[in-house]
Structure 1
């Protein structure tokens, strides 16, 4: 069955844990470029609408969660109609790379971004970046009391006062980063202590910010750009919440990336590479900086709409983003400690 320009992928079970049913039939072919997008349509739909001119052929997009789409691609294998995977996080890209499902990108594409924002084997490249931050209510939290590191949020004084979004990919990537940095035993110890501190769970980062703004909780663990988008929409005076960027090479300061890769054996390799190149163009990088409040990853592009601290000033832990691929193990650990 043919799918239209945007078809949402429904809820898929246990991303990267349980197999997914493969897409059937001749849904698309070499006459169109097919993108599986783990990025939300509301965030990037306007950008992907501009792709047809860049690649010189019709573009068809499927939307879903990054982990869900990666699982779908692994299930479909070489029979997939997808040409490009556009992911919300590096972990899903790493999972496909490890499975041999991504083709190496040409050097002229890889060289558009710093080395730390691309796969070591050249199979994917970052398109934008975002930082983990602590959002807080200044009426409840003095600046001097803000957490200096991940272990500070385990203090009993924050019991029942911290919000997080357990099903959000950014939270799961943070936990994967914690596992990489501290090992599974260290990560499990932290998560167990965090769970014992009665954190409040919300459906997404926006709901965490809502809870802080209304005074329900004091702190929230979110990505930076949700706050900047809110300020742009409502005005700074209408947003109670403030942001705290943790320093000192701590897991709570993890900078993760959205990124893209070309599926191995796809039918439109030249157009697929052109699509990835477009996502790194000044036009696209400006879109991330001004529309989604994310960090551009190509040098020389900054936001004209949001007062973002420089990405170089964010003290992210020294981590190989390719190592964020072990999402299945992260999900199992989160279930084990009761944080799902």
Structure 2
């Protein structure tokens, strides 16, 4: 029996009231990599006594697989809390009316734009979209400093990108469509498909650069920093930092309660726990090197550069509204690309 089948069997047992245990439970769909999210969920269990039944995503369908499952289950929800590793598909679930509103006391000091006005979702622990560069293949005087370098013909076949239909790469695409307009965004992704090696996810991109298979690629800080930790000959470049340039994109994890989930009170306790400053400190200092959102957290990501970062100004709800348009031209460009 596969992992998903075992998970479904466990959930059906819980929903049927069988199992002979009064232990409180919460069902979590987690898109953040299991190696990063599972230890925190285990600590919540130990601290609260609430058992966590977690379903994790896979690299090749990041976020989309879990979001699709939530849509399919809308008439009989199995999930209580969606821990998304990005924000685009959280906003799409909100548009579909699947989210339960809840204002956690732990989110009261979060900055504007990171908490839905009605409490449908909240963002925390962000990752940055960065270039990872192999220093043995790219000398310092040729080092890329913009996402536009990914479509420079001199690097044809030597750069990498994750297929932009899933995860943070899809979010990045929707944001660019909103910022640039459909025509320019479509041109960029067409040129990118022609110039870059398209891989299954951000982690394979980082690994290919770390091994020297590729010169550089577009990935997330959590995947890039692991290559640095492994001693690979790589550097992390925060793109488009010049005056008037886009800036680096920062994408938060998001937490949202699923409407009519089976364990709403336990889910609220978990939201409160995950929004505590200690969790963001742990994610910033830990393997995933997340960037804290809570202003009470003074520490920054261990992946942060020595200088300040110019962050891209983003309207995530507007980008989410662009997704259907973005997805249509991305499907056209990337269908059949492995």
Structure 1 residues 113 and 8: CA distance shift in structure 2, 3 A? farther
What runs of 5+ residues in structure 2 fail to find an aligned partner? 18-23
Task: Measure the CA separation in 1 of the matches of 2:227 and 2:16.
Answer: 39
Q: Does 1:163 align with 2:156?
A: no
Of the structure 1 ranges 136-145 and 43-52, higher mean CA displacement relative to structure 2 is found in: 136-145
Task: Measure the CA separation in 2 of the matches of 1:144 and 1:91.
Answer: 36
Structure 1 residues 192 and 115: CA distance shift in structure 2, 3 A? same
User: CA shift at 1:303, angstroms?
Assistant: 5.3
11, 35, 57: which one pairs with 2:28?
35
Structure 1 partner of 2:171 = 173
Q: Secondary structure at the match of 1:299?
A: coil
Structure 1 partner of 2:148 = 151
Contact 1:140/1:218 (<8 A) preserved: yes
Q: Does 1:138 align with 2:138?
A: no
Contact 1:179/1:187 (<8 A) preserved: yes
Deviations 1:29-55 (A, max 9, x none): 794211121222222111111222455
Of the structure 1 ranges 299-308 and 53-62, higher mean CA displacement relative to structure 2 is found in: 299-308
Q: How many residues align?
A: 318
Q: Does 1:240 align with 2:233?
A: yes
User: CA shift at 1:219, angstroms?
Assistant: 1.4
Contact 1:54/1:275 (<8 A) preserved: no
Deviations 1:137-162 (A, max 9, x none): 22333434333433333221121111
Matches within 5 A, 1:198-237: 199-232=196-229, 234=230
TM value normalised by structure 1: 0.82
User: CA shift at 1:108, angstroms?
Assistant: 2.4
Deviations 1:261-287 (A, max 9, x none): 111233433322221111111331122
Task: Measure the CA separation in 1 of the matches of 2:293 and 2:28.
Answer: 21
Structure 1 residues 9 and 88: CA distance shift in structure 2, 3 A? farther
CA-based RMSD: 3.0
Of the structure 1 ranges 78-87 and 241-250, higher mean CA displacement relative to structure 2 is found in: 241-250
Structure 2 partner of 1:288 = 283
Contact 2:132/2:235 (<8 A) preserved: yes
Contact 2:63/2:166 (<8 A) preserved: no
User: CA shift at 1:302, angstroms?
Assistant: 5.3
What runs of 5+ residues in structure 1 fail to find an aligned partner? 11-20
Q: Does 1:261 align with 2:256?
A: yes
Structure 1 partner of 2:20 = none
Matches within 5 A, 1:105-116: 105-106=102-103, 108-116=105-113
Task: Measure the CA separation in 2 of the matches of 1:204 and 1:131.
Answer: 15
Q: Secondary structure at the match of 2:317?
A: helix
121, 126, 129: which one pairs with 1:129?
126
184, 193, 216: which one pairs with 1:186?
184
Task: Measure the CA separation in 2 of the matches of 1:157 and 1:287.
Answer: 40
Q: Secondary structure at the match of 2:305?
A: coil
